[in-house]
Each structure stands twice: as structure tokens, then as C-alpha cells.
Amino acid sequence: MENPIQNDRWTVRLPILLSVTLAAGMLLGATFFGGSKGIADVARGHTKFKEVLQLIDNNYVDTVNTDELVDYSITKMLEKLDPHTYYFNPKDAIAARSQLESGFDGIGIEFNLYKDTVYVVTPLVGGPSEAAGIQSGDKILKVNSDIFTGKKVDNAFIFSKLRGPRGSEVKIEILRRGVPKPLSFLLRRDRIPTFSVDAAYMMDKEVGYVKVTRFSESTYDEFKNAVSSLKTQGMKKLMLDLRGNPGGYMDRATNMVDELLAGDKLIVYTDGKDDRYDRQTRAKNAGMFENGSVVVLIDESSASASEIVAGALQDHDRALIVGRRSFGKGLVQMPVNLSDGSELRLTISRYYTPSGRSIQKPYKMGDLEGYEKDIKNRFEHGELFVSDSIKNNPKLQYRTDAGRIVYGGGGITPDVFVPRDTSMMSPYLYELFAKNTVRDYALNYVNQNRKQFEKQTFAEFLKSYNVTDADLNGVVKNATADNIKFNEKEFSRSKPYIRTYLKALIARYAYQKRDKGGLNNEFYQVMSNTDEGIRKAATLFDEAEKLAKGNVSLKDAKK
């Protein structure tokens, strides 16, 4: 989806940039600053800035770009505020908004920007690139007359060249492994839908699994469709996976909770300096899954809207929360579209879970770098591996409906801890990821053996297919061709993961159907065999059932 698989600071800041917002249509009005007691101070500051900018433009010894100076000034000013108030210049605003849209007009590829070079991860099913024959692993050399290598190539640049009006044409020049000369493709852009529910399938006769990757425009509708489909298949228990979900629209998150929560229970409330942004959101609809046990998976990358869902369900004892302590993002932003196409996301309030918790982790005004190091610090202090390393503030204790102790001040602490599994990770594996070597092998393998896969169902494949040592040797051979230096010790450590990951990718390319609304069920079903979080969560539905029925002992309540 002209959708990046990124390795840069953008990825690190995603929970910050995809922060909780108010309802999608709400924007600041012309009277936003009308009630400010400091209006005279604001006016004086505006006059001073205008004077300095005019002096520079008229008198500075060299020619300067005043637009760049203004962008820089705004960015540096906002660094004195909280870490979630953020400014996007017009180019970056387009890329940021696209993360929450339900679709776009483009050529339909998932790409990876690696060392100033753009690689195709995969052409999206049903898109122009797939129809034209663009393949995973293709290196994009040129788009129309624009060279696609070098330091100028960033995500905003890529978006601006690949996306465009539906029906418009774009010429792509690519370099493909094994083909000596570049290949040219003339593509006609089309509408490319994007999806936020990445998987929805039955794990067994009773347990349904739903993976939500973000809270975008279409998330609530996708979630309802997924739950409805699973219920027709007999779902009586729900595993909701919010791991790695950086958040998005608040109302999509609260609507999701409303489908799981009975009565008119409080879901979330906000409080800010201006009482126009103070509100309470309660359950109001007859939900699709108000009965039946629920387990929610979270981790250190589950942020903002994800934490609203987990916090509300935990406070009302509606779901058992499993995994690791979440990101800790409890501030609400108002998106403001500025006149030149840039965007300001301004923090206007804090949100609180039903028990009264603010789960915003501590921060120092103006210290964005220190704030971004929090996850790294958790890793170094052992919190991602040992539950006893989680240091909750004893002064920030709150009670769920049933009297269980929960904590504020830094994310949602899970009811059941699952350590991060790094036993199979290695630098060699990370290089394979960066160059998309395993993906490329899987796609080529499926293309060469498609008739074989057409003879068996996915259920048969899942049960009987095994990745051979010859396949692994093929991956290593391709990696060497990609200038990835072989390391026997690291390869041996990562071999079980590579084997499972390769099978999962083969399943995706061989069996993913166009009529599934973007679901990657086959991939997740294979990967779940090595996913300790899913395996642990699957054993906890009896405990979740106790919560759903209000069977919480005094001992449990004091935990």
C-alpha cells in the first residue's frame, strides 16, 4: 500500500505520531485562542517573530528559505512541550495522515527503505503492481524521471512519487535479481484499500482470534465484520491481539469496547485545561460480544487507543490482560490542519480509565530523546523478561470493579506476564529481514510450485507441510548474493524461527485469497506455533471466564 516497513526513527516514534485523537472530523475553530488569558502575550510574541523573520529575509547576508526557518522554529518551540504535541510539514503530514486512512490512490506495493534504496516487500493483492508483475525483492531505480536512490529518498518522497490521482499513469524502472538489465513497467494508479484488522480466524471450535494493528478510519467496521463472522463459526471465547498497535482514533477504540461491554459502563473520560474537551464516553449499544470470555494481548508497543481498550476492559474485569506493560501514552491530541497543508497535533487533555487511572508514563518537558529511550531502558533493566522488574508506583493504586489492584502512571500492567522471547533472534536474522531475503525466497518458491499448492487445502498444508534443509540452504544462498555475510552460529540460533517464518510466508503467498478483506490468517496461523504470547493466552480462558462472571476471590482482588 505504498506502505513502508521501516527501520528508521519513524518506526521508533510511531506510538508518538499515531497518538490518540478525538473524533476524526473535529478540528480547531477560529475561536480556539479566544478565551486565552494570555492573548496579549501571544500577540506580542507573534509580532516579535514576524519582525525577526522579516529582518532575516530582507537583510541577511545570504539568501535563505524562510519556509524552512518557520518549520524549524515551530519544531523547536514544540520541543518545550510534551512529547506528543507534534508538527508535520506539508509533505510529512500527508505520510502521517495516510497511517490512519482506510485507503489511498497509488500503485499498491509494500516497500522497505534500506540504506537509501527502496525495495518492494510485496505487491498488494489486487493492486496495479501485482497485475503488472512487480515482484517481492524488486529494487526501485526510477519513478518517472525521479531517481529512487540517495539521501533525498525518504518516506515522504516515496509517497509523493508513488501516490497520485486514480487513473493517472506512472512509469516504474526496477532491478530484479537474476535479470541483467532494468525492467520498465507502466502502471495506472488505482484505489488501494488498507486494513487494520490483520487476522480473524478460529483457533479451535470455540476460540476466535482477532489481530488489530492500528485504530484507523475503518477499524471499527472491520472489527464488527470479524466478530460477526467468527460468531457464525461458533466463537464463544475471544482473543484480541493489540500487540504492536500504536493507536489512532479514540472513537474507534471506544466503539470497539462498547461491543464487548454491557450496560452503560464508563469506558474513558478526558480532562484538560479547557473544559470544552472534557468528556465521558460510556457504553451505549447492545454489543456483539457482551458475554463470553475475553483475553487481550498487549506489549510495550501497544499505545494510546490500544491502552484505552485494555484499560477499560481491565477496570471492569471484562477481560484478562496478558503480555507486557504497555507503552504508557495517556495524552489526547487535537489534529489541526494549517493553511499550507501542514498539520499540528496539539495535546489538549489527558484521558483516564474508568477507575480513574492516567496511564501516561512520566516525561520531562522538552526531553523527547529521553522519552524515546524508555523502551530501551525497560529492555536493559530486564522488565521485558522478568515480571518482578516492573516497578509500579505504589501511590498510584486503583481498584477494578471487583476490587483487584491496578496501577496508573506508566502504561497498562498485564494481569498475566509473558516475557519477550529473543532466544532465536540474531544479527544475521535482522539482516535477512532488512533485505527481505526470506520473503523473496518464499514468493519465488510459490510461483514455481503453485500447481502443487492448488492440489491441497490450507488445512492440509498447515498440518503436513515442512520447510526442508534445502529450502534453508536456498535462503542462505540468496542472502549471500545479497551481500549478507553468513554466520554459522547466528544461523543455527535463528534456524527454527527462519523455518517457521518461511512456512508462514509460503502460506500467505499460496493461500491468501482476495475476498478476505485484507486478512493474513494463513500467515498468523503458522506463526502462532512459535508465539509464546498466543500459546500462553490460550490457556487462560478459564481465568477470563471467572472475571466475566464476577468470580474474583478476595485473594485475587488483592493481587
Instruction: Please provide residue 312's backbone torsions phi and psi, each rounded to the nearest 5 degrees.
Output: -65, -45
Q: Which residues pair with 417 in a beta bridge?
A: 323
pLDDT at res. 516: 58
Residues 6+ apart with CB under 8 A from 53: 66, 69, 70
pLDDT tens readout for residues 379-418:
888 888 988 888 888 899 999 999 999 999 889 999 999 9
Quick one: how many helices (H) and strands (E) in the chain? 21, 22
Buried b (16+ CB within 10 A) or exposed e, 385-424: eeeeebebeeeeebebbbebebbbbbbbbbbbbbbbeeeb
Decide if 208 contacts 202 (C-beta within 8 A).
yes
Going from the C-alpha of 335 to that of each of 130, 271, 360, the distances in angstroms are 35, 17, 19
Q: Which residues pair with 294 in a beta bridge?
A: 238
DSSP 138: P
Residues 6+ apart with CB under 8 A from 40: none
Other CB atoms within 10 Å distance of the CB of residue 315: 26
Helix (H) / strand (E) containing 533: helix 532-537
Buried b (16+ CB within 10 A) or exposed e, 107-116: bbbbbbbbee
For 26-31, the CB contacts below 8 A with 24+ separation are 26/334, 27/334, 27/335, 27/336, 27/337, 28/334, 28/336, 28/346
Residues 6+ apart with CB under 8 A from 449: none
Q: For the chain, how many residues are written?
A: 559
Question: What's the pLDDT band for 12 if we cut at 50, 70, 90?
Answer: very low
Q: Across residues 144-160, what is the average pLDDT?
A: 87
Helices 155-162 and 90-98, interaxial angle, to 10°? 80
Question: Minimal CA–CA distance to 248: which of 308, 171, 316?
Answer: 308
pLDDT tens readout for residues 225-272:
999 999 999 999 999 999 999 999 999 999 999 999 999 999 999 999
Rounded Cα–Cα distance for residues 547 and 316 (Å): 9
Residues 6+ apart with CB under 8 A from 170: 107, 143, 144, 161, 162, 164, 186, 187, 189
Rounded Cα–Cα distance for residues 536 and 420 (Å): 12
CA contacts within 13 A on the Cβ side of 318: 24
pLDDT tens readout for residues 30-86:
233 334 456 677 888 888 889 999 999 999 899 999 889 999 999 999 988 999 998
Q: Across residues 498-522, what is the average pLDDT?
A: 85
Report, at the CATH architecture level, how domain 197-332+348-421+538-557 is classified: Alpha-Beta Complex (3.90)
pLDDT tens readout for residues 25-43:
333 222 333 344 566 778 8
Rounded Cα–Cα distance for residues 432 and 442 (Å): 13
pLDDT at res. 185: 94
CB-count exposure of residue 213 (10 Å: 0-12, 13-18, 19+)? buried
**Alpha-helical regions (H) of 273-406:** 305-315, 368-372, 374-381
pLDDT tens readout for residues 327-382:
999 999 988 898 888 999 999 999 999 999 999 998 888 788 888 888 888 888 88
* Amino acid identity for residue 84 in this structure: H
Decide if 9 contacts 315 (C-beta within 8 A).
no
What residue segments make up the domains of the chain, in order of their start? 103-193, 197-332+348-421+538-557, 427-533
- Nearest-10 Cα torsion for 528, 529, 534, 535: 170
pLDDT at res. 22: 52
Rounded Cα–Cα distance for residues 86 and 237 (Å): 39
124 or 233, which is more confident: 233
The CATH code of the domain at 103-193 is: 2.30.42.10
Residues 6+ apart with CB under 8 A from 118: 111, 112, 139, 140, 148, 149, 153, 158
Rounded Cα–Cα distance for residues 528 and 534 (Å): 6
99 or 559, which is more confident: 99
Question: What's the pLDDT band for 312 if we cut at 50, 70, 90?
Answer: very high
Task: State the catalytic residues.
Answer: 304, 329, 333
Rounded Cα–Cα distance for residues 401 and 315 (Å): 6
Rounded Cα–Cα distance for residues 269 and 153 (Å): 42
Q: Are strands 190-193 and 197-202 parallel, antiparallel or unpaired?
A: unpaired
Question: Minimal CA–CA distance to 244: which of 15, 477, 523, 9?
Answer: 15
Question: Minimal CA–CA distance to 265: which of 305, 318, 219?
Answer: 318
Question: What's the pLDDT band for 23 if we cut at 50, 70, 90?
Answer: very low
Rounded Cα–Cα distance for residues 391 and 307 (Å): 18
Question: Minimal CA–CA distance to 502: which of 535, 469, 531?
Answer: 469
